[in-house]
Amino acid sequence: MAIELVDPDPTWARQFEEIGHWLRSAFGDRALRIDHIGSTAVPGLPAKDIIDVQLTVEALEGVRDVLEGSGFALRTGTVSDHRPAGSELPDGDLVKLFAEASEPRRVNLHARLPGRFNQRYPLLCRDYLRAHRGAAQAYGEVKRQLARIVGDDVEAYYDVKDPVFDIVMAGAEAWAARTGWSPSPSDA
């Protein structure tokens, strides 16, 4: 299946609110944070028409049962996020549960643990791109050109996109240090 990017949809934030409300009801206080992440969380950025959600929980145990009972399909086995080039992060900082739903709309859910590298990364990424329109536009163009070039080779898309994003994140880390950035309150 080809990587299909769509133009920004101003209703993505509202769509996330509905998903976030449902997740808050399902998880209650077990959800430390529920955040809209990824390209659909950055106004004006082209994206795959999939709402990415980060669910932050104290422990991954029990999350699978709630999600499977709600129509999410979980990826089996250990799932790890991208390891930035040259990093020596412990494996535990990259572990997550990953689930997908297609009804009533496509959702990718990433359940992660608080304080881990992979839990902070998408929040910083989102906030940096929201604050730096030029970086967001350049990243959007990289995604468009890459999707055009790789066609349906999803692995090739991520093999290139992930290291490109490591470069973006170098700027985000400098911005975070300069501004004293910290995550805003949970989105839901």
Query: What residues are paired with 74 via a beta bridge?
Result: 99
Label residue 151 by pLDDT band (50, 70, 90).
confident
**Angle, in degrees to the nearest 10, between helices 117-131 and 133-150:** 110
Task: Scan for tokens 């501004």, then name that residue.
Answer: 179
Least confidently predicted of 12-16, 77-81, 101-105, 110-114: 77-81
The DSSP H or E segment spanning 65 is helix 63-68
Q: Output Rg (C-alpha) for the chain, integer angstroms.
A: 16
Q: Domain ranges in the chain? A: 12-179
- How far CA 114 is from CA of 24, 34, 134, in Å, comes to 17, 11, 30
Q: Which CATH number applies to 12-179?
A: 3.30.460.10
- pLDDT bucket at 174, cuts 50 / 70 / 90: very high
Q: pLDDT by residue (tens digit) across 49-101?
A: 999 999 999 999 999 999 988 889 999 877 999 999 899 999 999 999 999 99
Q: At what angle do helices 117-131 and 154-179 cross, to 10 degrees?
A: 80
Q: Are 42 and 172 in contact (CB under 8 A)?
A: no
Residue 111, pLDDT score: 97
The Cα 139–Cα 161 span in angstroms is: 9
* pLDDT tens per residue across span 113-142: 999 999 999 999 999 999 999 999 999 999
Percent of the chain with pLDDT over 90: 90
Of 134, 105, 106, the closest CA to residue 42 belongs to: 134
Strand 79-80 to strand 95-101: parallel, antiparallel, or no bridges (unpaired)? antiparallel
CA atoms of 104 and 101, how far apart (whole Å): 8
| CA distance linking residue 12 with residue 59, whole number of Å | 28
Q: How confident is the model at residue 103 (pLDDT cuts 50, 70, 90)?
A: confident
* Residues 153, 3: Cα–Cα separation, whole Å: 8
CA-to-CA distance for 15 and 147, rounded, in angstroms?
A: 24
